[in-house]
């Protein structure tokens, strides 16, 4: 901001002389401006102008790039002289730079999921192979059994068989804080866990099975029926695709959950396009939350920023309890999906459509920013008011 200060003052001039050529009244101010003296033979007369500035000042603000100072001086008494001095001083250039950090877009799972380039995998034929700690750079030609109670990561691994997350049906502790990162899988099943992350997984090629079934479990214990919990699930940056041709009566989905307590599912590409008309009939939904398969409902799901391509009768069936949100997802159906009629009713979040809803129905789900075949859509939802929008839904 440039400031221009304008000061207005009064100039008083007084000078008299007397005999003896002495100046009776003069100015000691070095700024005084005096005319040449005059002498009439007796008296010497000296006229001086001394600028004096009053204590009043008017300050104005302007956006010009220079500073301008205007001083007006006025002489009083017998003679009035006005002097106006305007001085233009180049002002400083002020540059204000606002830096806004925009996060990069999330990776496209179709190009980043799976074993990373540059990793040489060692082949292991033992099946099932039991993992209880970190492991990487392996190719398992059979099944992989993920157990152990300590947190660890399985990375850059290919599994041709089935991955089973379990730990002796929970009797020796639960699988906890396990991460599968940059893995190539065909089928994954769980029998309870406390902390499971599936990140950047390339899951493809399932035949006569769901791509993933993520459940709690219930077994007969020594004295009573025991429920093995499934808590704290994250599925992110993964690509589900490449369904094989079915030859039996099994159903299939990209993700089939039940009894999961707390889930964050984001930036995944779920494509369950069937290779033939027979296999289409085995697709119950692309994404399917099954109500209370054992003793517990899915609860507190946050599903955002995903792409769902095709499905069966339901493109997605999302029926959690608790406080859940579905936002900024793309739902798409193509000509390869003849069972899906392209209507919002085929994305099921409505308790009236479930015969296994809890008393009073499933609660309403927060939703925003979802599209169906490129058009904004609001799906029928559950009972009551939806929960508040989570921060992830503002992205």
Q: What are the DSSP E strand ranges found in 186-321?
A: 187-191, 193-199, 202-204, 212-215, 217-220, 225-228, 230-236, 239-241, 255-258, 260-266, 269-271, 285-289, 299-304, 307-309, 314-317
pLDDT digits (tens, 9 = 90+) for 196-210: 999 999 999 999 999
Q: What angle do CA 190, 195, 196 make, to 5 degrees?
A: 50
Q: How confident is the model at residue 383 (pLDDT cuts 50, 70, 90)?
A: confident
CA distance 387 to 366: 6
Residue with the two structure tokens 């009939």:
281
Residue with the two structure tokens 């008309």:
277
- Number of neighbouring beta carbons within 10 Å of residue 27: 18
Residue with the two structure tokens 């999302």:
318
CA distance 265 to 234: 6
Q: What mean pLDDT is predicted for residues 17-42?
A: 48
pLDDT number for residue 190: 94
pLDDT number for residue 356: 78
Task: State the chain's maximal CA–CA distance in angstroms.
Answer: 137
Of the two residues 278 and 74, the one the predictor is more confident about is 278
For 252-282, b/e burial (b = at least 16 CB within 10 A) is: bbbbbbbbbbbbbbbbbbbbbbbeeeebbbb
Give backbone dihedrals phi and psi of 235, rounded to 5 degrees, phi first.
-125, 120
Of the two residues 285 and 157, the one the predictor is more confident about is 157
Percent of the chain's residues with pLDDT above 90:
47
pLDDT digits (tens, 9 = 90+) for 148-158: 887 899 999 99
**CA 287 to the chain's CA centroid:** 23
How is residue 157 written in tokens? 């691994």
**Distances, alpha carbon 309 to alpha carbons 97, 189, 245, 333, 334, in Å:** 43, 22, 18, 6, 8
pLDDT at 335 over 80: no
Q: What mean pLDDT is predicted for residues 350-375?
A: 83
The closest alpha carbon to 327, from 335, 315, 318, 336, belongs to: 318
- Number of neighbouring beta carbons within 10 Å of residue 342: 13
CA distance 229 to 215: 8
pLDDT number for residue 102: 72
Q: How confident is the model at residue 88 (pLDDT cuts 50, 70, 90)?
A: low
pLDDT digits (tens, 9 = 90+) for 45-79: 555 554 544 444 444 444 444 344 443 444 444 44
How are beta strands 38-39 and 44-45 bridged, if at all? antiparallel
Out of 77-86, 221-230, 243-252, 316-325, pick the least confident: 77-86
Q: How confident is the model at residue 286 (pLDDT cuts 50, 70, 90)?
A: very high
Q: What mean pLDDT is predicted for residues 271-290?
A: 90
Domain borders along the chain are 2-90, 109-386
- Number of neighbouring beta carbons within 10 Å of residue 85: 10
């Amino acid at each position: 901001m440039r400031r221009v200060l304008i000061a207005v003052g009064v100039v008083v001039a007084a000078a008299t002389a007397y005999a003896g050529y002495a100046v009776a009244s003069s100015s000691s101010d070095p700024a005084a401006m005096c005319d040449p003296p005059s002498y009439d033979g007796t008296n010497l007369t000296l006229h001086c102008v001394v600028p004096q500035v009053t204590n009043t000042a008017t300050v104005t603000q302007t956006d010009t790039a220079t500073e301008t100072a205007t001083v007006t001086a006025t002489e009083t008494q017998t003679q009035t002289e006005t002097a106006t001095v305007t001085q233009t001083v180049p002002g400083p250039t002020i540059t204000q730079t606002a830096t806004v950090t925009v996060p990069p877009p999330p990776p496209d799972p179709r190009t980043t999921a799976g074993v990373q380039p540059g990793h040489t995998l060692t082949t292991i034929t033992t099946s099932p192979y039991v993992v209880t700690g970190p492991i990487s750079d392996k190719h398992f030609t059979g099944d992989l059994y993920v157990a152990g109670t300590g947190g660890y990561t399985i990375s850059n691994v290919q599994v041709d068989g089935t991955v089973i997350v379990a730990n002796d049906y929970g009797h020796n502790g639960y699988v906890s804080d396990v991460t599968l990162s940059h893995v190539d899988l065909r089928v994954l099943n769980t029998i309870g866990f406390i902390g499971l992350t599936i990140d950047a997984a390339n899951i493809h090629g399932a035949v006569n099975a769901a791509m993933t079934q993520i459940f709690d479990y219930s077994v007969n214990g020594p004295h009573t029926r025991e429920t093995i919990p499934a808590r704290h699930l994250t599925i992110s940056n993964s690509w589900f695709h490449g369904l094989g041709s079915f030859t039996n009566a099994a159903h299939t989905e990209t993700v089939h959950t039940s009894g999961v307590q707390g889930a964050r599912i984001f930036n995944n590409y779920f494509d369950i396009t069937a290779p033939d008309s027979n296999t289409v009939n085995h697709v119950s939904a692309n994404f399917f939350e099954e109500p209370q398969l054992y003793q517990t409902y899915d609860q507190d799901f946050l599903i955002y920023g995903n792409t769902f391509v095709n499905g069966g009768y339901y493109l997605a069936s999302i029926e959690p309890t608790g406080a859940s949100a579905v936002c900024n997802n793309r739902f798409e159906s193509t000509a390869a999906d003849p069972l899906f009629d392209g209507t919002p009713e085929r994305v099921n979040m409505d308790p009236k459509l479930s015969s296994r809803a809890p008393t009073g129905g499933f609660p309403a789900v927060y939703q925003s920013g979802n599209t169906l075949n490129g058009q904004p859509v609001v799906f029928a939802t559950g009972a009551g008011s939806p929960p508040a929008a989570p921060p992830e839904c503002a992205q």
